[in-house]
Amino acid sequence: NHHGHSFEERIIYGVENSSTFLECSPKSQRALVYWQFQRRNEERKEEIRVDDHIIRTEQGLLLRSLQRKDSGNYLCHAVEHGFMQTLLKVTLEVIDTEHLEELLHKDDDGDGSKTKEISNSMTPSQKVWYRDFMQLINHPNLNTMDEFCEQVWKRDRKQRRQRPGHTQGNSNKWKHLQENKKGRNRRTHEFERAPRSV
């Protein structure tokens, strides 16, 4: 597809020495899954070799004991009838434990200068993610990752709604989509309630 890609893109954050799972399974059961890895700032892609560190399952790849060198792009392709189609590109960011320690103990520093250094080297979106990430670590009472993601998603939506001007069109489109969805759900329920004799 030369006119812009049709595959999904995700960013995943993992902590050094922990495990992470990259989910990808093709719709067609006959398709073979082929994974490639691309290091940051490199054009070259290499086939992912399965070993004790990387385990392949039907649902995706399990990376055990993450290292900084695991950071990069993971591309999931489906191969069928001699054709290869890219399904997913996952950008994995591995956060080293030293940075985590510094962030977790930034209050002990007093001036928090180390944290400022880390913070200054990041883009605004990375800062937001770091903050969310720290929130996740500092609030172990969150039941699931889903709950946390939903909080982030809700906040993201709220921010978009608050932005004035040119984004207005997008929020209207979003509202329209939501209403369509509601309408569709309502119809489905009515259909379910309809007597069988009809």
Is the model more confident about 152 or about 89?
89
Is the model more confident about 152 or about 118?
152
**According to the model, what pLDDT value does residue 75 have?**
97
Q: Over 70: is that where the pLDDT of 22 sits?
A: yes
What Cα–Cα distance (Å) separates residue 68 from each residue in 92, 105, 162, 179? 10, 21, 37, 44
91 - beta bridge partners? 11, 73
Contact 118, 99 (CB under 8 A): yes
Length of the chain, in residues:
198
Tell me the pLDDT tens digit for each residue of 24-42: 988 888 899 999 999 988 9
Domain boundaries 8-95, CATH class: mainly beta
> How many Å apart are CA 170 and CA 28, to the nearest integer?
33
Contact 90, 23 (CB under 8 A): no
Q: Average pLDDT over the chain, rounded to whole?
A: 75
Tell me the pLDDT tens digit for each residue of 92-147: 999 888 877 777 776 555 554 545 555 555 666 666 666 666 666 555 554 555 66
> How many Å apart are CA 105 and CA 4, to the nearest integer?
44
Q: Where are the domains of the chain?
A: 8-95, 97-162
Give the pLDDT band (50/70/90) at residue 10. very high
Give the pLDDT band (50/70/90) at residue 51. confident
Give the pLDDT band (50/70/90) at residue 2. very low
pTM of the model: 0.52
Give the pLDDT band (50/70/90) at residue 70. very high
Cβ within 8 Å of residue 133, ≥6 positions away = 13, 95
